[in-house]
Amino acid sequence: METYGLHRYPGRLFIVEGVDGSGKSTQIALLRQWLISEGYTVFFSEWNSSPLVKKTTSRGKKKQLLTPTSFSLIHATDFADRTEHDIIPPLKAGAIVLADRYIYTAFARDVARKVDRQWVRELYQFAVKPTVAFYYRVPLEVSLSRILTGRTELKYYESGMDLGLSNDPQESYKMFQERIVNEYEAMVDEFGLTVMDATLPIPEQQRRMRKIIRPYLQGVRRIRSSAQESAWAGLAREMRPSHPDIQVRDR
């Protein structure tokens, strides 16, 4: 079994992290569109999405069967299934894998639930180390207002009600998020997370993200040229109606 840092694959793995309401999902969705338009093969993987494990997790949440430790383990199981199916094989095949939330989400949430810091890090030893891990940093009051306005219900585990911090879900959520932010901040140096200012305008954040990623794209195979190059190629083809057999290379 290969462990964190030892994996060597031709693909690239870019991940985004941050609290709810940091805007990270928006950024990775924009990045995905761009990479596709540039002609790369892109795989997208979301937190908590394994078809094998999903049912068990939602059962555990609905019936409130989860302790901090089993909560941690069921999410690690979910992540393992994604690693074995959605992350390692595409990376081996030379694709670009994008992940919305990664192991740092588990580290932040589980430790906020008082799971042992060291134990949970060892639990995720099988994970692939990302090429770049972006952390979308946002002031707590900004993310809280983004999430709490216009939203009526917070779920039990989502708001950290299992911790017994407060009987009020909103109050509990705030206290839980605060702990999570503290964990993220402590991980910036520990894991070399790339900090992004999530208060900037969305296009500016995206511009910076692409700039950071661009050097890592060197040597990654494209299935076709970028949309822009294809447009030029198409134009060139139209310009030569008398020579229909002339192939314009678009690979």
We find the least distance from the C-beta atom of residue 26 to other proteins, in angstroms, to be 30
Q: In angstroms, what CA-CA distances link 109 with 23, 104, 164, 207?
A: 18, 8, 15, 29
* Shorter beta-carbon distance to other proteins: residue 101 or 174: 101
Select from 30-38, 112-120, 138-146, 230-238 the region that touches other proteins (CB under 8 A). 112-120
Beta-carbon count within 10 A of 111 CB: 23
Report how far residue 170's alpha carbon sits from residue 212's, in angstroms, rounded to the nearest whole number.
36
DSSP letter, residue 216 = G
Minimum distance between the CB of residue 62 and other proteins, rounded to whole angstroms? 11
Contact predicate 40/217, CB 8 Å: yes
Q: Which of 33, 37, 67, 145 binds other proteins (CB under 8 A)?
A: 67
**By CB under 8 A, residue 59 contacts other proteins:** yes
Footprint on residues 124-163 left by other proteins (CB under 8 A): 125-126
Told to check if 3 binds other proteins by CB under 8 A, we report yes
Task: Provide CB contacts within 8 A for 146, sequence distance 6+.
Answer: 21, 23
| C-beta atoms surrounding 43 within 10 Å | 18
Number of residues near other proteins (by CB under 8 A): 33
How far is the C-alpha of 76 from the C-alpha of 52, rounded, in Å?
12
64 contributes a contact to other proteins by CB under 8 A: no
Burial class (CB in 10 A: 0-12, 13-18, 19+), 222: middle
Nearer to other proteins, 118 or 167 (CB): 118
Choose, by CB under 8 A, the member of 5, 10, 37, 65 that binds other proteins: 65
Q: Which residues bind other proteins (CB under 8 A)?
A: 1, 3, 50, 52-53, 55-56, 59-60, 65-67, 69-70, 73-74, 76-77, 80-81, 83-85, 114-116, 118-120, 122-123, 125-126
